[in-house]
Amino acid sequence: MIRFAIALTLVTAGATFAQSEDKNVAKGDYYFKAGYYYKASEHYRLAVQQNPTSPDKILRFGHSLFAIGNYSYASYALRKGLSRRDPSKRFRPELASLFPSERDFVQVLRDLKVYVTYRPRDPAGLTVLSYVLYTIPGEETRCRELLGYLRRHDKDDPYVAFMLHQMGQRDAPDAEAPAPRLDPLPPVEVPPLPAPTRVEAPKPKKVELSKVLSPPERVEETTPADLPPAPPAIAD
């Protein structure tokens, strides 16, 4: 009877613990969708504390840290969450759909790009940016470039290996690799141009200056006697 009571207590406690964990995740999702990223990160943090082995909860926590601009901890959380996932299973979250609107997602992404622009060698910023670009269709090329940069610093980076495996690429492209050689174009025959004809410039006509310019007219000098009388003085 006592054993049954203990077992029942443990089951009840486990169910309560799971409900509390799910409640924190639900609240985190609610606040994140409403744009309250700090509140969402707090509830995700509590959910991770209750279940630190859940990759989905750790990744949710990383998403909220990315949204509030805490890229150092976001990088750690994203790497930790991906390390607990099975690489053989397809993984590509729709990160933009978690935000209140596409405009909010673009603004948060713009802030991250500004951070990376001023800190181009920060592994944390490059990790978060490569992860976010991986979730955006059409940004695969830029994502591979960032992964290639991270791999040159650590060729055994498990995060890079996971992402490249997901993208179906064995090796990241080397940014310093030479440009691909193009096949030479076939020769193009250009018809010869006709020889230029000599054109003689017209000879200038001789013009006599005496016929163009007339001599200046003579101006008679005036004497002081010829000047008009001075104006009368103005009384004060």
Plot region of 69 (φ>0 → left; ψ -120 to 50 → alpha; else → beta):
left
Between 7 and 133, name the one with better pLDDT. Answer: 133
In this structure, how many other beta carbons lie within 10 angstroms of the beta carbon of residue 25? 21
Question: Mean per-residue pLDDT for 172-189?
Answer: 43
Q: What is the mean pLDDT of the chain?
A: 79
At residue 15 the predicted structure's pLDDT band, cuts being 50, 70 and 90, is very low
Q: Decide: 161 and 136 in contact? Cβ < 8 Å.
A: no
Tokens 């990241």 appear where? 172
Of 5-14, 33-42, 213-222, the range with the highest mean pLDDT is: 33-42
Between 45 and 236, name the one with better pLDDT. Answer: 45
At residue 140 the predicted structure's pLDDT band, cuts being 50, 70 and 90, is very high
In the chain, what percentage of residues exceed pLDDT 90? 59
CA–CA dist 107, 193 (Å, integer)? 59
pLDDT digits (tens, 9 = 90+) for 74-91: 999 999 999 999 988 999
Please determine, for residue 62, whether its predicted confidence score (pLDDT) is greater than 50. Answer: yes
Radius of gyration of the chain from Cα atoms?
41
Tokens 């006599």 appear where? 208
Question: Mean per-residue pLDDT for 215-232?
Answer: 54
Within the chain, residue ranges assigned H as helices are 2-34, 37-50, 55-67, 71-83, 102-118, 123-134, 140-153, 158-167, 209-212
Between 18 and 147, name the one with better pLDDT. Answer: 147
Please determine, for residue 200, whether its predicted confidence score (pLDDT) is greater than 80. Answer: no
Q: Longest C-alpha distance within the chain, in Å?
A: 149
Please determine, for residue 6, whether its predicted confidence score (pLDDT) is greater than 70. Answer: no
pLDDT for the residue numbered 168: 86
Question: Mean per-residue pLDDT for 24-44?
Answer: 97
Per-residue DSSP letter, 30 = H
pTM exceeds 0.85: no
Please determine, for residue 20, whether its predicted confidence score (pLDDT) is greater than 90. Answer: no
In the chain, what percentage of residues exceed pLDDT 70? 62
Q: Which of 97, 169, 170, 174 is nearest to 137 (CA)?
A: 97
Plot region of 193 (φ>0 → left; ψ -120 to 50 → alpha; else → beta):
beta
